[in-house]
């Protein structure tokens, strides 16, 4: 792992210098870690979701590299950007599903009790996303930690390393952020 950490940093620097082959090599080196992050995110999604972890990685990679400005300030910044790209893809997907549930092209049906649908994981993703934006305005580093843990599927140790903070600090921020988000998402709970 340590060897690949250094290699990721080298490749990120090569990408910034404009090395044409460095981007492809970077993807090969980080692909499994990105796929693991995506799989962690997808575990929270509803069964039968049309987006698979591999597709999520590929879409995130396209977003990360299509900007034309792959100016990542190191490994931590790269993985934080990847987690953010995946989070945004899932939020967009949840919004599309919500729009479909709200009548996007559906025919009118009388409401019966046996047709009531409970809020699913996509509603949870949207609620977390909205609360997370508010938390980011108050405490950006705690919001980044939540993105890496909740959306990125990273362990506490991995997220602390990506953010360059001591594990104990990350654990305290995680406890604070969880309580803060819980109050925003479920007031009175």
- What does the pLDDT read at residue 92? 86
pLDDT higher at 83 or 126: 83
Roughly how many angstroms between the first and final C-alpha of the chain, as a whole number?
41
Which pLDDT value is given to residue 165? 92
Does the pLDDT at position 129 exceed 60?
Answer: yes
| Long-range CB contact pairs, 73-79, < 8 A, 24+ | 74/9, 74/12, 75/5, 75/8, 75/9, 75/12, 75/162, 76/161, 76/162, 76/163, 76/164, 78/8, 78/12, 78/30, 79/30, 79/33, 79/37, 79/148, 79/152, 79/154, 79/162
Mean confidence (pLDDT) of the chain: 79
Length of the chain: 189
Break the chain into its structural domains and give their ranges: 2-105+118-185
**Which tops the pLDDT comparison, 33 or 150?**
33
Return the pLDDT at 67: 64
The 10 Å Cβ neighbour count of residue 99 is 11
The confidence score (pLDDT) of residue 6 equals 78
Q: Can you give the pLDDT at residue 1?
A: 42
Structure-model confidence comparison of residues 158 and 134, the more confident one: 134
Q: What percent of the chain has pLDDT over 70?
A: 77
Q: Kindly state the percentage of the chain with pLDDT values over 90.
A: 13
Q: Which two tokens stand for residue 144?
A: 């980044």
- Report pTM: 0.59
The answer to whether residues 59 and 52 touch, using CB atoms and an 8 Å cutoff, is no
CA distance 181 to 151: 14
Residue 189 to residues 128, 166, 179, 186: CA-CA distances in angstroms? Answer: 15, 31, 11, 6
Provide the pLDDT confidence category of residue 101 given band limits of 50, 70 and 90. low
């Amino acid at each position: 792992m340590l060897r690949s950490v250094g290699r990721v940093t080298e490749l990120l620097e090569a990408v910034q210098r404009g090395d044409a082959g460095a981007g492809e090599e970077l993807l090969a080196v980080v692909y499994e870690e990105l796929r693991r992050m995506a799989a962690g995110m997808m575990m929270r999604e509803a069964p039968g979701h049309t987006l698979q972890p591999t597709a999520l990685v590929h879409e995130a990679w396209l977003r990360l590299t299509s900007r034309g400005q792959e100016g990542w300030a190191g490994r931590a910044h790269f993985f934080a950007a990847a987690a953010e790209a995946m989070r945004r893809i899932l939020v967009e997907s949840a919004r599309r599903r919500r729009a479909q549930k709200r009548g996007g092209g559906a025919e009118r049906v009388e409401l019966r009790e046996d047709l009531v649908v409970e809020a699913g994981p996509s509603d949870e993703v949207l609620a977390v996303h909205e609360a997370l934006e508010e938390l980011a305005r108050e405490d950006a580093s705690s919001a980044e930690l939540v993105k890496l843990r909740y959306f990125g599927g990273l362990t506490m140790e991995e997220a602390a390393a990506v953010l360059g903070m001591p594990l104990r600090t990350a654990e305290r921020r995680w406890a604070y952020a969880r309580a803060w988000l819980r109050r925003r998402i479920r007031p009175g709970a």
